[in-house]
Amino acid sequence: MKKGTLKQILLITDGCSNKGEDPSATAALAQQQGITVNVIGILEDDQTEDPEGLQEVEDIAQSGGGVSQLVYKQALSQTVQTVTKQAMTQTIQGFVNQELKQILGPSQSMEDLEPEKRGEIMEVVEDMGETCDLEVLVLVDTSASMHDKLPTVKEALIDLSVSLNARIGRNRFSIYSFPGKRKDIQKVLDWSPKLDSISSIFPKLTSGGITPTGPAIREAMYQFGKKSLLRSFRDEDEPDVEEAWY
């Protein structure tokens, strides 16, 4: 039996998009393709918890079927993980709910079950979350205001891979920054099982002036199912397959 793979885009930003299509629309498109879009909005130290400009953060996650959270720089590490794991559970629970509706009828969802039964179902959801494969594409906003936050973002991402790699299921991460030099997004790290290697790449990121969040999500969407990703999973599954063909 083939286990499922969860696909997520994790967008890390500190402000509003100002170029290209509406990011909520592209996030909705991604969700149609089975990719969840999570958004983390980094707050300035002097910002209140509910700034007007960051409403977009919640909107993108809502239409992307994911989780959003506003956070101060200091708490980024923990938030990145909570958001990722929460979104995984949410997605799996979504599948399970759908199955339940097929069995129990359209009006039933998990909340309508008594606590004891809910507990049994939650055990299944947890099992799936622990064992499923996961692909996370991290999309980092590198517009000018993000400059002093990038070292913290790097730390948080390394920490995320430490957490996720403790799971039984396999993980693939890739990192893209936006805006890119000539394109909408720029590849920072190709699909790989660990993020330890990013220490050397991260400081080289340059900051630009515009924030094309919408086009960036659209481009990020196309990175799933690219050859490099397929290869990286296949290599692990059947390392000898290519030799056998010759």
Partner 1 sequence: MKMNQTWKKHGIDLRPGTKVKGKWHQKSYKIQKKLGQGAVGTVYLCKYNGREAALKISEQSTSMTVEVNVLKSLDKVQGKRLGPYLLDVDDWVSPTGKIFSFYVMEYLKGQPVTTFIQQNGNEWTGVFILQLLEDLERLHKSGWVFGDLKTDNLLVISSPTRIRWIDVGGTTQIGRAIKEYTEFFDRGYWKMGTRKAEPSYDLFALVMIILNVYYPNRFERGANPEATLQKRLNDVKSLKVYRHALQKALQGKYQTASEMKHDITQALYRAQHRKNKQLTTSKQTRKQKHRYLFLIESGGIAIIALLYYAFSLLLP
- The binding site for partner 1 (CB under 8 A) comprises 58, 61-63, 65-69, 77-78, 82-83, 86, 89-91, 93-94, 97-98, 109-111, 114-116, 118-119, 122-123, 125-126, 130, 159, 162-168
Nearest approach in angstroms of CB 19 to partner 1 is 25
Nearest approach in angstroms of CB 118 to partner 1 is 5
Of 115 and 203, which has the nearer Cβ to partner 1? 115
Of 89 and 192, which has the nearer Cβ to partner 1? 89
Of 164 and 188, which has the nearer Cβ to partner 1? 164
Residue 223 CA: distances (Å) to CA of 8, 10, 142, 161, 241 = 11, 13, 19, 19, 25
DSSP 55-82: HHHHHHHHHTEEEEEEEEGGGHHHHHHH
Nearest approach in angstroms of CB 193 to partner 1 is 14
Of 200 and 243, which has the nearer Cβ to partner 1? 200
Nearest approach in angstroms of CB 103 to partner 1 is 16
Q: Which tokens in the block code for residue 78?
A: 């923990």
